[in-house]
Structure 1
Amino acid sequence: MNPQLMTPSLKKTNSNLSVSPQDQPKLINEVRKAIEKHASIDKIKQKLGDEYSRCLSDQSISRYLRARNWNVQKAEKMLEASLIWRMNYKPEEIRWEHVAAEAATGKLYRSSFLDKQGRSVLVMRPRCQNSKSTRAQIKYLVYCMENAIFHLPPEQEQMVWLIDFHGFSMSNISLKTTKETAHVLQDHYPERLGLAILYNPPKFFEPFWKVVKPFLEPKTTSKVKFVYSDDPTTKSYMESLFYIDKLESSFGGRNLAKFDVRTYAIRMKDDDAKRLASHNGETSTSSVSGQASTGSESNHHANTDSEDSDGDKTQFPEINEEEMLAEAHKIATSDGGGTGGRIEH
């Protein structure tokens, strides 16, 4: 099976609606002007400082418009929610020492390599989950997203997620964290995901995916690829996306290096210093500072979850978690642990 065909079926949507390049500046300016008329805008400007200008850059507003199919009113509402979220969360204040405990096992980290399109690569290993705190996990997610965005080259706005399902078990499933993650990524990081590769997901993951998919925009699900290492076409697919010498061996590459939290901590502390300098205007306004605009908006990370957000939160359907887990357990039992079958769509 061709990995590029390993994509869940999509609902009909107008998410591919396009606007001519000539019309885009007009729509961007309409959103900017609408935001400027809001009663709370003076407070937001005061709280965000220079960050406000980055949030209202052409590139940033364009992402919100694309996420809302170039609907000015919807993009305005979405962007305003993100401005408030960023104002409350203060993502620029998150430092490595605030999230080091979450990072210790290598469950989520920015890879040292880019893909062939120059996109940052975030690696996730659900089996390495070491926390039951949704708040702490989302805080670390925001930190990783900010870091990945900071390292995007000038011509790139998106990143790649590589999700390694080796050793994944039902104990790693958390619908609460999944919903929070979907909320943060979709509502406050619009158009940041370029591709998500689910590498060797077990068959028992299928009921979970069926539950998760309604949380996601159809445009997002179209970027999710199910890839299996034993598929004959997987190697060529991964080679089309990554430089194999740099790609980690767990994803079919030749890089045998393992995650080392001490080495990673040095990288992140250095990045923190660079991001702080950029935020304070101590470096030139290069592509890095520009790219860091609306990527990491979240409500206050010190003591609140996003349930308390002032933003327009994604509405999720009611979920019968017990039924989902029971179905997953049935598949796992019949499949000798759930590792032998593929998720077919």
Structure 2
Amino acid sequence: MYLRKPRASSAEKALSYQEQQTKINEVRCLLGQLAERLPNFCSDASILRYLRARNWDVQKSGKMLKETLKWRLECKPETIRWEDVVHEAETGKIYRANYLDKYGRAVLVMRPGFQNTSSAKGQIKYLVYCMENAILNLAADQEQMVWLIDFQGWTLASTSVKATRETARVLQDYYPERLALGILYNPPRIFESFSKVVKPFVDQKTYKKVKFVYSDDAESQKIMTDLFDINKLESVFGGHNQDGFDFSSYAEQMKEDDKKMSDFLNSGGSVLSKEPSLLSSLQKPEPSTSEALSHGSSDSSSSSDVESPRSLHVKNSNQNLNAPQVNCSDSGAAKSEAQHELMIQMRESA
């Protein structure tokens, strides 16, 4: 049985269900025809992630989501298949672990010291494939994943500045609010010192998602035992599982997942539009892990007090409570401006 997901942020609690739904509707209006072309990627859950990423600023959220939709139309990331990236995967530099954390979240293992190619384009393509695969395999009540970053064998020569910059851009711009926690395992000590220097300039919600763990530090190792089943966690991360990355078995798993992705898309589904299940999340017990492991757990209020579109959907439907609707046709000036901006952006990307 998995632990309950972290509680919503205080900023989210400050908005009522009606206010949140109104903002979601306003963002959808700003998307114009893009929302009609990619309706599955403009679900309430998807828009909500972009609003959270931009602190509920409708204009900034709409612009961010527009860029994502344009990118998906152009690059079609959901159509990348194992045979397209197999050469990038040979060393296991990124792979989805065959276990979940105690919250039931998918785990992506990243090993930058195992870099085996020099093409930034190919590396980004494989990263996107892994992200799409991890999202596909999220449980019905989950939206986020955990990254386990192993620095074994890492040197400055392992890192391409161009690829690193593009990696950060893709993850921040096209997959907002997908990271629950990033664990840097045995990183060079200077990393942690540098993080303390830049802390005042980094969004605190993001900063709290990054944890430094060292194999020779019992206190930091507690993060691993609190977050993972130690019997399933690989030994390289302090667990009891002696099985490392096996390329052949992983390849078979990815081929099966590719079939699942194709079936899912052919059925009219969308990876990004998967809505978490309210009932399954309510049935989970109280979390027993350290509050430091959940970026939203600093709030003292119980999760039942959180007013969000998903958590109040059942309650409000029973009360016949209709959220305020935004009439897109009545906001002609705003819509015209948004369409003009979209045309400029599309022309620049052509």
TM-score (norm 1): 0.72
Q: Does 1:97 align with 2:91?
A: no
Contact 1:125-1:165 at 8 Å conserved across structures: yes
1:208-261 deviations in whole A, cap 9, x for unaligned? 868998997553232111111111223332111011111111111111101111
Does 2:11 match 1:17? yes
Matched letter for residue 276 of structure 1 = S
Q: 1:81·1:312 contact (CA, 8 Å) conserved in 2?
A: no
Query: Following TM superposition, by how much is the alpha carbon of 1:155 offset from its aligned partner in structure 2, in angstroms?
Result: 1.0
Q: Distance in 1 between matches of 2:27 and 2:121?
A: 31
Distance between the aligned counterparts of 2:109 and 2:200, measured in 1? Answer: 24
1:29 maps to 2:25: yes
> Which residue of 262, 275, 289 maps to 2:248?
262
Once the two structures are superposed, the pairs formed by residues 316-331 of structure 1 within 5 Å of their partners are none
Change (3 A) 1:213 1:87: farther
Partner of 2:140: 154
- Tell me the equivalent position of 1:291: 274
Unmatched segments (≥5 aa) in structure 2: 1-8, 277-344
- Going by fraction, where is helix more abundant, 1 or 2? 2
Q: Which residue of 2 aligns with 1:163?
A: 149
Whole-Å Cα distance in 1 between the matches of residues 346 and 182 of structure 2? 28
Task: Flag the 1:292–1:128 CA change in 2: closer, same or farther, 3 A.
Answer: farther
| Superposed displacement of residue 53, structure 1 | 1.8
Q: Which residue of 2 aligns with 1:83?
A: 69
Structure 1 pair 245/140, CA: closer, same or farther in 2 (3 Å)?
Answer: same
Give the direction of change, closer, same or farther, for the CA distance of 1:175–1:312 in structure 2 (3 Å limit).
farther
State the alpha-carbon separation in 1 of the partners of residues 81 and 118 from structure 2. Answer: 21
Kindly tell me the number of residue pairs found equivalent between the two proteins: 271
1:243 and 1:311 mapped to 2: Cα distance?
Answer: 50
Gaps of 5+ in 1: 1-14, 47-51, 294-308, 314-345
Relative distance call for 1:220 and 1:242 in structure 2 (3 A) is: same
Q: CA RMSD in A?
A: 2.9
Whole-angstrom CA distance in 2 between matches of 1:215 and 1:103: 35
Identity of aligned residues (%): 55
Q: Is the 8 A contact 2:234 2:242 kept in 1?
A: yes
Contact 1:78 1:312 in 2 (8 A): no
CA 1:214 to 1:145, structure 2 compared with 1: closer, same or farther past 3 Å?
Answer: farther
Match of 1:193 in 2: 179
Instruction: Using the TM superposition, give the Cα deviation of residue 20 of structure 1 relative to its aligned residue in structure 2, in angstroms.
Output: 2.9
CA distance in 2, matches of 1:136, 1:214: 34
Contact 2:135-2:272 at 8 Å conserved across structures: no
Q: Report the CA distance shift for 1:16/1:186 in structure 2 as closer, same or farther (over 3 A).
A: farther
User: How high is the TM-score relative to the length of structure 2?
Assistant: 0.71
CA distance in 1, matches of 2:208, 2:186: 18
1:169 shift after superposition: 1.3
Match of 1:60 in 2: 46
Aligned partner of 1:183 in structure 2 is 169
